[in-house]
Amino acid sequence: MLRLVPVLILGLLSGAANAAKPAGTTPAAYSYSSVGNPGLAATVSQPPDPSFVLMGGGPDVDEAFRWMIQRAGITPKTGGRLVVIRATGDGGYNPYIFYSNKRKSTASGDIADGWVGGASLGLTSVETLVIPSTAAADDPAVNAIVAKANAVWIAGGDQADYINYWKGRELERTLNALMQKNVPVGGTSAGLAVLGSFDFAALNGTVTSAQALADPYNPYMAFDPNPLSTVGGFISPPPLANTIVDSHFDSRDRMGRLIGFVSRLIGTYAAAGTQQYGCAGGVLANRAAKGIGIGVETALLVQRNADSTYSGQRVTNISTTTESAVYFVNVTQGPTVCAAGKPLDVPTSSIEVRKLAVSGRTVNLMDWSALPVYKSLGIASGMLLPANPY
């Protein structure tokens, strides 16, 4: 979500960063803003297990940020820093996460709906970096700020910017190092899109469900990694192995395109005699490819458990006006037609959709066990059957 709350921009082209540049070079154009006291040293211990927040866009889910702060081990005694990264926009997240209400209260128990109250939970600062270039993503000052984060949030925007500017740069290495230390990482909208092991990269713009099903190789179906591979994706958190994620799911009717994404991940194979299944360029077996679609004002809280499995719980706001559901998509057979310029075909009832629309229920993210199939779908000549998948 693009928050437009006015903030004080504390630094454009950080002086420390400029001093580190050789004479005659162009400084990296990034901006930095903060609330709280980022100069205070936190005493947070390394969390024992990793945590991730998958948010579907629209109004931000307050409880998801509180959960991140708690999973980071941040308390009023330890302090801690939450760093927001983005390629466009401003520092509007800073007051929303740090304060408890529009009066900028930091009092415990004074948290209003629409505010996180991070300071009352122990945050000593919320900081935003706008990182709009490869030079900025490689800047030592940028990476020094991110490296000190106790939690990281990837804001919405355009995921193509994140792939073009951040992938393969020092910033990606910094993020991977934080994940190795179990620092919680989350994202919404475009920030969610880059958290799968496969990403819809949007390098040529967005794609609709109708376009994805009418031609699964159309120019808008741009993925990371490219070509598709089980290695080499941007950051790629472990619980989302073999998974592609999508946001604004039901509000923008994205079931068809997520099925198109998942189908493209499935490599070709022969079955039932000479029948050919799968998609050229796919790299996974049919049941291995997974998709998770998250509705607006919805977050899936992901954590590693004592037995090394990963589980997720859905949360939303008390004021949500949508169903705020999470959808889990798996293709069990096919596709039978998956070719450039041709509509997608998937056998009847071969697409399993599971739906999580209640809070407090835990889903095993390794196999989605205990979550029953909500609907079984097929695709005939690029048309979903039945037509209403939600």
Question: For position 170, which CATH number holds?
Answer: 3.40.50
pLDDT of residue 369: 85
- Which residue, 177, 195, 213, sits at the end of a domain? 195
pLDDT of residue 271: 79
* Integer CA distances (angstroms), 276 to 213, 331, 336, 347, in order: 19, 15, 6, 12
- Which strand ranges, in their side-by-side order, compose the sheet holding 310-316? 9-12, 31-36, 125-130, 81-86, 151-154, 185-188, 51-55, 298-304, 310-316, 362-364
User: Lowest-confidence range among 23-32, 220-229, 248-257, 284-293?
Assistant: 23-32
- Is residue 178 a contact partner of residue 146, using CB atoms and an 8 Å limit? yes
- Which residue, 195, 214, 243, sits at the end of a domain? 195
**Same structural domain, 239 and 361:** yes
Across 272-286, average pLDDT: 89
Q: What is the DSSP letter of 266?
A: B
pLDDT at 3 over 60: no
Give percent of the chain above pLDDT 70: 93
293 three-state secondary structure? strand
Domain that holds residue 188: 1-195
Burial class (CB in 10 A: 0-12, 13-18, 19+), 227: exposed
* Average pLDDT for the chain: 92
HSE of 48, CA atoms in CB hemisphere, 13 A: 4
User: Lowest-confidence range among 15-24, 120-129, 164-173, 339-348?
Assistant: 15-24
**Same structural domain, 228 and 281:** yes
What is the distance between the alpha carbons of residues 349 and 165, in angstroms, rounded to a whole number?
40
φ/ψ (deg, to 5) at 249:
-70, -60
**Same structural domain, 220 and 367:** yes
Across 272-278, average pLDDT: 83
**Same structural domain, 106 and 184:** yes
At 138-172, the pLDDT tens digits run 999 999 999 999 999 999 999 999 999 999 999 99
Give percent of the chain above pLDDT 90: 88
- Is residue 70 a contact partner of residue 319, using CB atoms and an 8 Å limit? no
Question: How many domains does the chain contain in total?
Answer: 2
**Same structural domain, 117 and 201:** no
User: Lowest-confidence range among 76-85, 127-136, 167-176, 363-372?
Assistant: 363-372
**Same structural domain, 191 and 201:** no
What is the distance between the alpha carbons of residues 338 and 266, in angstroms, rounded to a whole number?
10
